[in-house]
Amino acid sequence: MQRVFSLLVDNNPGVLSRISGLFSRRGYNVDSITSGVTADPRFTRITIVASGDELILSQIEKQVRKLEDVREIKVLIPELSVLREFVMVKIRANAEQRADVASVADIFRAKIVDVEKESLMIELTGNQSKVDAFLKLLDGYEVLELARTGLTGLSRGSKNITYFD
């Protein structure tokens, strides 16, 4: 099983290290972790995708909730949330191959962000299955470099929002 946790934490030095240290000490499996400051610079949003059985996942939630810097933790249910991943991929492509790669990128609404004589760099944002499908279609090309952010997300709608003074 996989679960997506959205944490709102105090924007203090070392907070990400303390959270990742909890996972390391307990032997929890982290599939991805993303972090960034929110609209309010006092807080950082951290999205963690973790795997395990129901017992492990509920234990993760309880242990993370106990951490001093954690203000809020939500489980993002896929049907009630918007979850996205960002990927950048650099592909070896000569002049003849560029049109084919560009048409694959167009199908997925990806963007070519860099073109060199022997390579292309493409960026794509979407859910995990979209990113996986895109990368699968690029299987016939040599991937020179790839960077994937992991999931980040927010719950849908204006309910269930926490405000801090």
Quick: pLDDT tens for 20-73.
Answer: 999 999 999 899 999 999 999 999 999 999 999 999 999 999 999 999 999 999
Q: Supply the pLDDT for residue 61.
A: 95
**Order of all β-strands in the sheet with 2-10:** 29-37, 43-51, 2-10, 70-75
Start and end residues for every CATH 3.30.70.260 domain found in the chain: 2-75
Q: Supply the pLDDT for residue 146.
A: 97
Angle at 44 between CA 35 and CA 89, to 5 degrees: 20
Q: In this structure, are residues 27 and 63 in contact, taking their beta carbons and an 8 Å threshold?
A: no
Sign of torsion, CA 81 162 51 13? Answer: positive
Cα atoms in the Cβ-side hemisphere of radius 13 Å centred on 75 = 11
Start and end residues for every CATH 3.30.70.1150 domain found in the chain: 81-152
Q: Give the domain 81-152 fold.
A: Alpha-Beta Plaits (3.30.70)
**Is the CATH number of domain 2-75 3.30.70.260?**
yes
Q: In this structure, are residues 20 and 29 in contact, taking their beta carbons and an 8 Å threshold?
A: no
Q: Supply the pLDDT for residue 158.
A: 83
What's CA 74's distance to the chain center, in Å? Answer: 16
